[in-house]
Amino acid sequence: MRLAFISDIHGNAHALEAVLKDIETRNIDKLFVLGDISYRGLDPQRSVDMVRELDAEVIKGNADEWLVRGVRQGEVPDKVIEGMNLERDWAFSKMTSDAINYLKELPEEINAEYYGVKIHGFHAAPTDLFEVVLPSEPDKLIKERLMTNEAAHIYVYGHIHKPYIRHIDGKVIINTGSVGLPFDGLAKPSYVIVAIEEDGIESSIIRPSFDLRELIEEVKTSDYPNKELLGKLLINASI
């Protein structure tokens, strides 16, 4: 059973197209989308439309929640909240009510099982769409924050835009990285493949390419608020 996990598209339909084309070449049996589909990118509506056309299990991320109801105080530093809500309002204005309602109604976790291997998927943490758990955290914190479903063998999440694969107590913890806004210094989309067979598990991080220069030119000529910031995030692949 070959599974693909993608997350954090952030309205970057160019990168999403590249990832989906790459997935088509890899004999994937099941696709999962771990949230943050539209906010902070030029193509919020198109990104939702593309995801809805997939035969995929989709869950909600914090940016999907922001699109539905706005960014609230305490969720981000006070100095950036006004600008982030300008970006949210821009994206909201580009989307249909049906697309917004789709994001609103998304579930918040995935529970799957193949060949007796149980997978728990979520956006940021099992009970919190906003929690940040970085790859550098000690084992104890990873277990407390991410591995609360003790029956699971594989834990997969997004949110931090930094892909990694880690093993703790014989279990696998995976971050998909980001399709649309990688923050690990490599300006390429990121997603994960997990192959589960009767005799074992194999996991890998995939980094396909796309035409970043074309996207940057579109950002420069767009009416997107904070487009200078968006361009820097895309080019530098870091915050």
Q: If you average pLDDT over residues 207-221, what whole number do you get?
A: 97
Other beta carbons less than 10 A from residue 203's beta carbon: 17
Given a cut of 90, whether residue 50 has pLDDT beyond it is yes
Q: How far apart are CA 68 and CA 98, in angstroms?
A: 11
pLDDT for residue 56? 98
- pLDDT digits 0-9 by tens, 18-30: 999 999 999 999 9
Percent of the chain having pLDDT more than 70? Answer: 100
pLDDT for residue 198? 85
Q: For residue 135, what are its two tokens?
A: 């790859």
| Phi-psi category of residue 116: left, alpha or beta, with phi > 0 → left and psi -120 to 50 → alpha | left
Mean pLDDT estimate for the chain:
97
pLDDT band at 199 (very low <50, low <70, confident <90, very high): confident
Given a cut of 90, whether residue 154 has pLDDT beyond it is yes
Q: If you average pLDDT over residues 164-190, what whole number do you get?
A: 98
Q: If you average pLDDT over residues 77-94, what whole number do you get?
A: 96
Name every residue whose Cβ is closer than 8 Å to that of residue 47 and which is 6 or more positions away in sequence: 9, 10, 11, 12, 13, 16, 37, 38, 41, 180
Q: If you average pLDDT over residues 133-145, what whole number do you get?
A: 97
Q: If you average pLDDT over residues 135-139, what whole number do you get?
A: 96
- pLDDT digits 0-9 by tens, 218-227: 999 999 999 9
pLDDT band at 210 (very low <50, low <70, confident <90, very high): very high
Q: How far apart are CA 71 and CA 61, in angstroms?
A: 13
Query: Which among 234, 185, 235, 224 is positioned nearest to 83, based on CA atoms?
Result: 224
- pLDDT digits 0-9 by tens, 56-81: 999 999 999 999 999 999 999 999 99
